[in-house]
Structure 1
Amino acid sequence: MPRLTEPQHPRIRLRFTALYAATLLLVLLGAAGTLRYALRATLRREFDQSVLASAGLVQQFFRAEIEEYVTVEATLAHIAGELVFEDRAIRIRKPDGALFKIVGAPVRRARRPLSGPVRTVRFALDPDIAPRWDIEVDASAANVMALQARIDRWFGVGIPLLVLCAAVAGWWLTGRTLRPVVRMADAAARIAPASGARLPIDDPTDELGRLGVRFNALLDRLDGALAQQREFLADAAHELRTPIARLRARVEVAMLESTAPNDTAVWRAIDQELRDVSQHIDELLQLARADAAGDEATMRTESLFLDDIVADELPRWQPEAQRRGMSLDYSVLEESPVLGDASLLPRLVSILVDNAIRYGTSGGLVRVRVRPDNGAALLDVEDDGIGIPPNERARIFDRFYRGDAARIKRPDGSGLGLAIAAWIVRQHHGTIAVSAGVGGGTLMQVRVPLAMS
């Protein structure tokens, strides 16, 4: 099973982090709005109370000093020179509304005017002692407004900073929480059929752990089913080989003993059918063994020369090619050392050459070339036969798949040969590709790594 490296997109982690940050932002905005409203109301109330306190202080002074200075005018003139307010301007108005005195007037003139906004409030001086005399207070709300602005700046800077810190912490915490999921996903991508590998589980009692335990149990059941299937296929193929071999032996004896031409033709047809069935059973047995071993099967690897393997294997196919009126050209065999299995590589060459002869044109040519190319040994098998349409090339290495043209030309095929060839190539860490040949047929190209010298 090829290992695929999939790009990781932390979408769940990002969504959780965004949800956490957005929730915290809403909570902070709600809390800040409530706190800001409460602070503004408190500051306004305190400001109003301070204005009342300023007027109340003038009233208390007036009541305390009236006995000493007797008249209202003398008392207020004395108070106006004695009291000084930092952020207040207090005017005393006569009963007719005319300005009488400004409290702390010399000092007030020496200072700058009150900073805005300014609030003006008018109070009665003392209805009993000084009827219709009023105190008019101008109070600056600049300090209150500055404090409110400073609080708003704190919120404007503090809330985004808190949300950012929370997002970083949420990203880290979410990643730590989802780490078992990432490990299980990576392990699942590496699990091959019947490999025995399972998902790693940190805590089998939590939600993710229970999911992993159930998934591993599912894998156990699947491996059991696959093992039964492979054992059945291997046993069936193995058991069928012996009776078919006996039938072929009897047919060969009958062919030797038969004297009638018609009987000989019948026996030869039966013998060919038995040969085809025997080949199909051998292919099924090979695939069953490959499935049992998996793509990571241990090979008997040794130093070989791919050109020598081809040179030894192709003479076996010369009689078949001549019977079909075809020619085998393997004049281009350059030295190509590889590390491989001495039983699998000849099988690979045999499958590709057999297909080229089967589906080539009668009287045509099959070219087999071996040469080193960019760190790989390149094996080309090219025919000038029926070819493979582009829309079928992606499936020709699937088991039991045969294209329409192949089924019409050779109905006796099994569709297993190229599946075995692809498995052999994978075992040697190579690649196999199909394309159109120069003469309109098919070009099978195999690349396996060159052996390091």
Structure 2
Amino acid sequence: MSNYKSSVNDTKFQNLHWRLLLSYLTVMVAIIGTSTVAIYEFFADILYQQIDQRLIVLAQAAAHNFTEIKEQYQQEKQVYNADKHRHTQVFRRLDGDGDLDIPWHNLREPDQGVEWFDAEAKLLGNSGTILPNSSLHPGFETINNGQIRTVTIAAYSKEKGNQKLEGYIRTSETTQEVEVVLSKLRWGLGLGSIFALTMTGIGGLWLTRQSLKPIIKSFQQLKQFTADASHELRSPLTAIKTSVDVMRSHPERIHPADEKKLAAIASATQQMSSLVEDLLLLARMDAQTATINQELIPIPIGEILEDLVDFLELPAEDREITLKSDLLTDIFVQGDGTKLIRLFTNLIENALQYTPKGGKVTVFMNCFDRSVIVGVEDTGIGIASENLPFVFDRFWRADKARTRREGGLGMGLAIAQAIAQYHHGEITVTSQLGVGSCFRVRLPVISDPKT
């Protein structure tokens, strides 16, 4: 574990690690959650099917005595009509002890009930303790807030070969035992899911770390190669540049036909030197971003920006672009002055490069939540929304709307982002094609420049 942590020096890989782990856990939560719900619904359906099957068997058995029960009801009704003073109501229980001495009675459980209705859904008789007081609905039904399950079937008689509806039989059973089983099942599935997610999280953490090890190793080797190659290329490029400068300083020794060739070599050498310096700077920044540089000092950010605007005002006028500023004073950040100058020079020059004649570039400052926001806004050609996530990538060039300018290598914004991160800040961009772009740099401020 410690070897892995020590190998992770780049914040991007730490973020990638957590993103992979989060994606893995999200998928596993979805799988485990779906499986848990499916298992619960499957067993609940089986338990309720068992209740329904018992109720159907009971109702079919009770249907064989429908005619007898109907006749007994008619007899009780006649006795009631003959002597209304002695009988205050129709006695719909079929015997005194609540039991029917017929074969189906052995099928009824203590938590079940049976009811007989005529064709007009009028109660003829009942037996048992579970007798819901609700309207009659053929088929399966759960009533009393899910506490009672009922089944209602129709009873027919044959008359001259035709079926005649005699009435209905409704059987009922409490779902209390089923709910007890389902409650235990919910607890079991819940605890099992928590245990499974815990083990999945531990396993996912280990798997993502193991899977990232070769990637991190390759990235570290690539960064080391970039730093080494950039360092080693400086000497031969310097030798080539010096040789070309010496040759061009004695034009009388150069054949006129070779003048353009030497100019091309000088231009290519200068471009390669700039690229090598940029790559070397980025390699050093990558190695220092996660550490606190002891050379950081209080920097008056407003004064740096004011000097930059004054310095770049003339190039802006040459391009017929208005360069304005709205700056604050007495705002200090802990930083490296040279790197901050490079950061904001890249942003302002980038804005000037992609702003057409007659346009405007504005440099402004705002303070918010112990931070200073430095913005560079232009009225240039803008960046397409689909390209915004890539503007800070190294060597990134946009589509035809933002062509490579002379001397441009696609490293300026990458360097700007690296410097912002080096100062524990961040850089963001908003843009719209044909309207312009705005780059904002947030840096933490210090309350007392002497500290």
Greater displacement, 176-185 / 308-317: 308-317
Q: How does 1:26-175 map to 2 (within 5 A)?
A: 26-29=45-48, 116-117=93-94, 139=101, 147=110, 148-149=112-113, 155-175=174-194
Q: 2:214 aligns with which of 218, 221, 226?
A: 221
Q: How does 1:306-321 map to 2 (within 5 A)?
A: 306-313=301-308, 317=312
Q: CA deviation at 1:170?
A: 0.7
2:428 maps to 1:435? no
In structure 1, what is the equivalent of residue 72 of structure 2? none
Q: 1:403 aligns with which of 389, 398, 413?
A: 398
Assess, with a 3 A threshold, how the Cα gap between structure 1 residues 441 and 220 changes in structure 2: closer, same or farther.
closer
- Deviations for 1:172-220, whole angstroms, at most 9, x for unmatched residues? 22111121323555xxxxxxxxxxxxx34xxxxxxxxxxx3xx544322
In structure 1, what is the equivalent of residue 440 of structure 2? 445
Q: CA deviation at 1:241?
A: 1.7
CA distance in 2, matches of 1:393, 1:335: 33
Q: 2:347 aligns with which of 348, 352, 364?
A: 352
2:239 maps to 1:246? yes
Assess, with a 3 A threshold, how the Cα gap between structure 1 residues 310 and 271 changes in structure 2: closer, same or farther.
farther
CA distance in 1, matches of 2:358, 2:271: 23
Assess, with a 3 A threshold, how the Cα gap between structure 1 residues 236 and 382 changes in structure 2: closer, same or farther.
same
Q: CA deviation at 1:351?
A: 1.4
Assess, with a 3 A threshold, how the Cα gap between structure 1 residues 339 and 164 changes in structure 2: closer, same or farther.
farther
Assess, with a 3 A threshold, how the Cα gap between structure 1 residues 235 and 319 changes in structure 2: closer, same or farther.
farther
Identity percentage of aligned residues = 24
Structural RMSD (CA): 4.7
- Deviations for 1:352-391, whole angstroms, at most 9, x for unmatched residues? 1232343344686643333424643122223454443455
3-state SS of paired residue (1:415)? coil
5+ residue gaps, structure 2: 1-11, 63-85, 114-127, 131-147, 149-172
In structure 1, what is the equivalent of residue 39 of structure 2? 20
Assess, with a 3 A threshold, how the Cα gap between structure 1 residues 171 and 256 changes in structure 2: closer, same or farther.
same
Question: Residue 429 of structure 2 contacts residue 437 of structure 2 at CA under 8 Å; is this kept in 1?
Answer: no
Q: CA deviation at 1:24?
A: 3.1
Q: CA deviation at 1:163?
A: 0.7
Letter in 2 for 1:238: H
Letter in 1 for 2:199: P
3-state SS of paired residue (1:398)? coil
- Deviations for 1:328-362, whole angstroms, at most 9, x for unmatched residues? 54463444333444453222112112323433446
More helix by share: 1
Assess, with a 3 A threshold, how the Cα gap between structure 1 residues 146 and 220 changes in structure 2: closer, same or farther.
closer
In structure 1, what is the equivalent of residue 73 of structure 2? none
Question: Residue 397 of structure 2 contacts residue 404 of structure 2 at CA under 8 Å; is this kept in 1?
Answer: no
Letter in 1 for 2:410: G
CA distance in 2, matches of 1:339, 1:230: 27
- For the pair shown, which has the larger CA radius of gyration, 1 or 2? 1
In structure 1, what is the equivalent of residue 365 of structure 2? 370
3-state SS of paired residue (1:379)? strand
Question: Residue 316 of structure 2 contacts residue 322 of structure 2 at CA under 8 Å; is this kept in 1?
Answer: yes
Assess, with a 3 A threshold, how the Cα gap between structure 1 residues 394 and 330 changes in structure 2: closer, same or farther.
same
Question: Residue 379 of structure 2 contacts residue 435 of structure 2 at CA under 8 Å; is this kept in 1?
Answer: yes
CA distance in 2, matches of 1:423, 1:258: 42
